[in-house]
Amino acid sequence: MTISETDRKELQLAKRLLENPGIAIKIANIIGMPIEIGMDKLPENWNKKIGDITQKALLKASEAAIFTIKDIPGEASSNAWHKLGVAVSGGVSGFFGFAALAIELPVSTTIMLRSIAEIARSQGESVKNAETKLACLEVFALGGKNKSDESAESGYYAIRALLARSMAEAAKFVTERGIAEEGAPLLVKLIAKISQRFGIQITERVAAQAIPAIGAAGGALINTIFIDHFQDMAKGHFIVRKLERIYGRETIRKIYEELPDSG
């Protein structure tokens, strides 16, 4: 099956967004220095602490009233307001440092998840649909290319394949019992997998904020870059899902893989 030239161009845009530099490279380009400078400033065993905080943040965000937005598929998303909210929370985190992360991250993650949901809606998704809600969470596993993550499993469709079984199980559970069902073991299992990838990007963000002289203003800037990155991931993800609904997943995947990463 062939696709229209307009849809091919949209798919090319999606691939450019999804397969281009990850958050660490974007932050380094903006602040003018590698984030490795901040890695040495992180406390001992910080990776494990970030993993725990990240998983709790995703769970809290998934339980929050983020899908109370009007369910009008195709309505534009209000990205600028979400960027402002995340910038403010990033400023707080930058000012108070590591101690604020456990408080700040659930707030910024919830704001980002709501923004992702609005982007999903703008691409024709119904935010009341269980699969759409989980596809919004799935965005946090998408990171673009990273120097530390150059394996074959870092590509867009590879990540979706890794999450596919957990996504299907969680979607069935959420459809039957709701996203906030107490315990929700299958949802917790999915979030644990997503948080493994999201946690890498949180570590990179925290390392950048730990660079001397970054401070509160730098924390706000880094959080703005952070949400902008995930808004890009969301736009690419939901463009692909929209085209898959029209042409079928295998057709779009085949064309996607044939397209260059940029163009």
Residue 263 within any structural domain of the chain: no
Q: What is the pLDDT of residues 222-231, one digit of tens each?
A: 888 888 899 9
Quick check: 27 and 218 in contact, CB under 8 A? no
Residue 227 within any structural domain of the chain: yes
Task: Provide the Cα torsion 124, 128, 129, 134; round to 10°.
Answer: 100
Integer CA distances (angstroms), 148 to 43, 186, 232, in order? 20, 29, 20
Is the Cα dihedral 61, 63, 65, 66 positive or negative?
A: positive
Q: What is the pLDDT of residues 82-101, one digit of tens each?
A: 454 444 454 444 444 566 77
Tokens, residue 140 = 């946090």
Residue 226 within any structural domain of the chain: yes
Residue 47 within any structural domain of the chain: yes
pLDDT grade for 106, boundaries at 50, 70 and 90: confident
d(CA 189, CA 193): 7
Quick check: 135 and 120 in contact, CB under 8 A? yes
Chain centroid to CA 200: how far? 12
Query: How many structural domains is the chain composed of?
Result: 1
Find the domain containing 66 and state its range: 5-258
Global pTM reads 0.85
